A and B are shown apart, each in its own frame.
Chain A
Amino acid sequence: MVDSQEFEALWPGGVSAIDVVAPAPRGDLKGKRIGFLWDDMFRGEEIFPMLRKSLSERFDDLDFVNYDAFGPIFGGEEHAVVAALPKRLEQLGVDAVVSGIGC
């Protein structure tokens, strides 16, 4: 038996409350300083040195700032570390960031 009662159903979602901005402009990597941000998980202590080596082999004038200059971006310190990023990135003259590890 098919139910004949008719319904009009309201949308159950939530309207976005976030102002969305465009991502940062990209340029070249010549002579740039790259900062590493790590969540202290998933073998970042191996992966970031590998990346540093392989990036340096492709661009001979890159400079790097290691993740320990910023603190862990996940866990109990996440909010404080992320809140401090604007100042730390400026202090350290970072031009681009590699962040991880999402796994």
Chain B
Amino acid sequence: MRASAAVEKLGVPTASLICDGFVGQATAIMPGLGVETIPIARIVGHVDGQSAEDLRRNIDEVTTPDVIRCLLEPAVSCAIAENFTNDTIVGSGNFDTINQLFLDRQWSDGLAIVPPSRDRVASFLEHTDDDPDRIIGVLQPAGSSATVKNVAINGVMANCRPEYMPVLIAIAEVLCDPAYGVEHSGDTTGGDPLIILSGPVIEGLGFNCAGVALRDGYQANTSVGRFIRLYQRNVAGILPEGADKGTFGHTWRVVLAEHEMAARSIGWATFGEERGFGPSEDLVTIGRFTSGGGIGSIYGNDSQEIVRYLADGLVRHTSWEFIFTVGFARGTYRPLLVISPLVAKTLQIAGMSKDGLRTALYEHARLPAVKLERYIGHWTNLLPGGPSLGQLVADGTAAPHFAENDDPQRLVPIVENPEDILITVSGDPLRSNAYVFASNGMHGFPTSKKIRVRA
């Protein structure tokens, strides 16, 4: 649809081929693409399950007449815009009345929201030097302005505390950064954003970085995690049955804060420092991760065996996402490994630096080339024609080391470079567990922004 919009703006008519299940999303994202309407030609059902003969018949009998209609008949606009601003009072009443209104208008996620009254919003705005009307950027697919004020409104709704406001603004700044790719947040594979917090703000605002990390239960972690979902819903326009086409998703992910004291105590760079920020700087990093799972009960003190187990976890949680390593968006796969302070310390005592861990993970997190090829072009049709890694290297969409020889059983890495593996330390300091997240690559590419605390 983005390409079709660009073409329509040039004065060239288009027909966009859209499967039945995507018509709603295609319609939902039109207003943000800057064209009143973009004509759609139906593709019956979903293409992946159709025989060649069924597909041919459907294209001939349904899609072709639709294409002709799209290219010949005047396109009729169906866009309806709400004529509100963030100073508009959209409802008044008691707690129940406001919550029912917000549910009815799809401004809520299904849980009760804190009514965003002027007073509460003002209390959030007191915690930033920013002009409330500052436009932080434009959020797709809705094409809406992210402003300091609508950050505050959604922060109130999510049950954040006013002092979280600088964190919330930094989150909005990530979402507005084209490098992050917020417009892909409704894709069918259902990756969800994870906010990773770094810096003194973790302790200062009471974010949990120890036991039960990644679980709801702490107001700071939970409410800020909820904020990003509400903000994407209300400002970016990523709504169920609309622009959100996630087949399966997760409840919002609570904020992951690094246990920086544990990292520093063993001489490891913090996650924030590895992102290029100073030890006293606060930052948020957001990436979209498609799935995750634990690496439990890591045993012993042999660093090489621990690395093999962690590397095994990285491999187990990656499958179709290899299209972000090779082919579709080369070199954008960024798996995240979260290790408990105890595991990190065990590795450090054995003489392993953080860079050494990363290099060792790169060497061990490998799988047979033929299996990677199955994931990207046989079990899925994400790379049409099922190209071999050799073919991808030849056309420049895979790094040369993915085709050092043509043995189908040769081991290839899950990422293009060692530094593509993100590592952070968090969780119960006295437990030997780890957690791994598979990355959604360039569609939610890990992006960091500094948190600017009020002077």
Contacts and interface: CB of A to CB of B under 8 A. Distances in A.
A17 B33 CA distance: 10
A78 interface: yes
10 contacts: A2-B96, A12-B154, A23-B37, A40-B384, A41-B381, A78-B2, A97-B13, A97-B15, A101-B17, A103-B19
Given A5-B94, A8-B117, A54-B64, A86 B72 contact: no
How many interface residues does chain B have, given as a range? 35 or more
B56 interface: yes
B93 A54 contact: no
B166 interface: no
Nearest to B74: A26
B187 to A, nearest CB: 10
Contact of A11 (B73, B88, B442): B88
A18 B384 contact: no
B38 interface: yes
B18 A102 contact: yes
B143 A51 contact: no
B43 A100 contact: yes
Interface in A38-95: 39-47, 50-51, 54-55, 58, 73, 75-76, 78, 81-82, 85-86, 89, 94-95
A10 B12 contact: no
Give the top 6 A-B pairs by smallest Cβ distance, nearest first: A100-B17, A14-B144, A18-B143, A76-B329, A14-B235, A7-B115
Contacts of B56: 50
Contacts of A75: 328-329, 442
B145 to A, nearest CB: 4
Nearest to B233: A12
A60 to B, nearest CB: 14
Contact of B10 (A39, A47, A54, A86): A86
Contact of B3 (A6, A7, A82): A82
Interface stretch (B46-54, B271-279, B359-367, B418-426): B46-54
Nearest to A4: B94
Interface string A26-45: 11110000100101111111
Given A9-B89, A43-B381, A89-B7, A29 B154 contact: no
B68 to A, nearest CB: 7
A96 to B, nearest CB: 5
Contacts of B48: 42-43, 103
A21 to B, nearest CB: 6
B90 A11 contact: yes
A53 to B, nearest CB: 8
Given A9-B98, A29-B72, A76-B330, A23 B115 contact: no
B144 A96 contact: no
Given A26-B73, A99-B15, A47 B47 contact: yes
B442 A98 contact: no
B143 A10 contact: no
Given A47-B17, A47-B55, A100-B17, A13 B235 contact: yes
Given A13-B82, A14-B139, A96-B12, A20 B63 contact: no
A24 B8 CA distance: 5
B79 interface: yes
Given A51-B67, A55-B67, 9 more contacts: A2-B94, A3-B96, A26-B73, A43-B48, A50-B55, A76-B330, A97-B4, A98-B67, A100-B17
Contacts of A76: 328-330, 332, 397, 442
